[in-house]
Homo-oligomer: A and B are copies of this chain.
Amino acid sequence: MTVPSPPWRREPPRRAAKPVLSQDLIVKTALEIVIAEGVDAVSMRRVAQALDTGPASLYAHVANKDELQELMVDRALNLGELPEPDPARWLEQVKQLLRQQVQALMTYPGIAKIAWNVVVPVGENALHQGEAMLKLLRAGGLDLRQAAFAGDALWLYTKAYAYEASGWASGEFDEAEVAERGRQMTEYMRSLPPTVFPNMLQIGELFNAETARERFEFALDMFLGGLKTLADS
């Protein structure tokens, strides 16, 4: 039924020329798009286009977009070496691990947003980091239950912080628009009796990209302060 291709038109050996599709390649390509165009630009079609194929081809290697996102998050979470617990400075080690996680998430702007879709972190990197965190907390003297709850809360906050911070940093939140909103809000609050929003009126300038790191460290210090008194009791 099929006509052989005419001899004057050289059939390009397409299949061998381009790198063969694989899950790893797909995830890697998707993360490159995140860096180049932001996380919202990552659609199945866009990834397929970057690999010079159609969207349906991806589904042979990835169940659906959710799975692709999980794989992306876990790959992005690849840190270097994880700390070996030292009971003498476990608190500092916990902070250091969390800082590394934030940095990893912020390498790919907006990736923290899709980290929220990952219900149970099953990726290899996530598992290892979870175990490392539990080891640190237990080295500090917490029992398993306390360590588990503390690790959970810290990871939730870290994700939340990374989401806001990377949204800010990557221009995903239109900075001008946000500023305009803040201005309108301030104006509104000023139009009311000064007894209604005495505090809120003053704190607007405390929230910007410069204070982000400070807020993160503050939150960590508060939470770990509570953990320390728990461990010492």
Q: Is A116 interfacial (CB 8 A cutoff)?
A: yes
Q: Is A45 interfacial (CB 8 A cutoff)?
A: no
**A147 near B199: Cβ-Cβ < 8 Å:** yes
Chain A interfacial residues counted at CB < 8 A: 57
Number of copies: 2
A119–B149 alpha-carbon span in the complex (Å): 28
Please judge, given known A-B contacts A131-B196, A134-B199, A144-B199, whether A214 and B181 are in contact too, CB under 8 Å.
no
- Contact for A152 among B185, B197, B207, B221, CB less than 8 A: B207
Chain B contacts of A146 at CB under 8 A?
218
**Chain A, 9-58, CB within 8 A of any chain B CB:** none
**B145 near A206: Cβ-Cβ < 8 Å:** yes
**Chain A, 108-135, CB within 8 A of any chain B CB:** 113, 116, 119-120, 122, 127, 130-131, 134-135
**A156 near B148: Cβ-Cβ < 8 Å:** no
